[in-house]
Every structure is written in structure tokens, then in C-alpha cells.
Amino acid sequence: MKCPCCGKEVEPHQMDVAFGLPDAIFALSEEQRDARAKTHADFCSLDGKRYFIRGVMYVTVQELGTKFGWGVWAEVSEETFDRYHELYDKDGSNEPPAAGILANTLPGYTAIEQPLEIHFGPADKRPIFKPTPTESEFYHEQIEGLPVRKWHSIIEQYAG
Ligand SMILES: [Zn+2]
């Protein structure tokens, strides 16, 4: 597919970017990580007092009209972390939304404190993270759509 922003050939199916760890754990040396963090594909803790869960945050790409998914981490309370454990292999669709804070800095944006609403769902799906309103460029683009140029530079950074 030719990219609508520049005409270059792009992979049309690259509609997500995933972060393997929350930034606070990724930043540690391997030694520190082993000593201080408990990591898993879907939940992590740091020093036994900071808790993170992984989910997906969707945004529509302008011009393409398709959804791009950020596979990111949210820092949550111990209660939410424990609740997610309980719901992990169950259907959490009727669970009221929980609160969290975005725990990854996204490429193309400055680091921001972005609150999230966390929606649990069926056991085979990761929770959906919905950003709550802030004054940031990030939030603005959640509403207006991700500019196609930005989508292109994001997938180029993470290609392969
Ligand atoms: Zn392009």
C-alpha cells in the first residue's frame, strides 16, 4: 500500500505498536530489574509497591480511517492489580472501569501524566485503556485522529 502522506510503500497491517515493559522497569539495568521487578507479559510490579498492567489504547488514523492500537502499560493501585489477577481468566465485561496512569512515553509525544480509564473485557482480550481528557497534544489527537504522517513515522521506528 502507498502511504497517503508520502507515497512510500508501507505495510498496511502494521496497526499496532507494543511496549514490552512499563518505562520505569525498562529503564533499569538487567541486574536491577532482576532484583526489583516482577515481570510478566500482562502484569508487572516494581519494589513490591508499584503495579502495572498491560492493555490496548486505540486511536483512529486520519485519512486511513482505521484504528491504530498502542500496546501500553498503565500504573494502577494494588487493588486494581489484584482485581485484574482475579479476572485474568474470567469475563470482566461487567466490571466497572478502573483508573490508571499511562506508564509509557509514546514516540512523537512529550512525556505526560495521562490518566486512563481501564475497561476489562473477555478473558482472551487485553483490557482497553481510554484516555481521560487532558490539555495535551496526545489527548487532542485521540479525539481528532492520529495524523497519517505521525502514524508513518511511528511504524517506521518500530518496523520489523
Ligand atoms: Zn508516509
pLDDT digits (tens, 9 = 90+) for 47-67: 999 999 999 999 999 998 899
Domain membership flag for residue 68: yes
CA distances from 123 to 27, 37, 88, 92, 113 (A): 30, 25, 6, 7, 28
Q: What Rg value do the Cα atoms of the chain yield, rounded?
A: 16
Domain membership flag for residue 29: yes
Query: Among residues 11, 88, 28, which one has the least CA distance to residue 55?
Result: 88
Give the single-character DSSP code of 78.
Answer: H
Domain membership flag for residue 59: yes
Ligand 1 midpoint to CA 79 (Å)? 43
pTM more than 0.85: yes
Count: domains in the chain:
1
Ligand 1 midpoint to CA 156 (Å)? 9
Domain membership flag for residue 43: yes
Ligand 1 midpoint to CA 92 (Å)? 38
| pLDDT tens per residue across span 91-127 | 999 999 999 999 999 988 888 899 999 999 999 999 9
Domain membership flag for residue 25: yes
Task: Give residue 139's domain range.
Answer: 16-157
Residue 27: which residues within 8 A CB-CB, separation 6 or more?
Answer: none
Rounded to whole angstroms, how far apart are CA atoms 130 and 111? 17
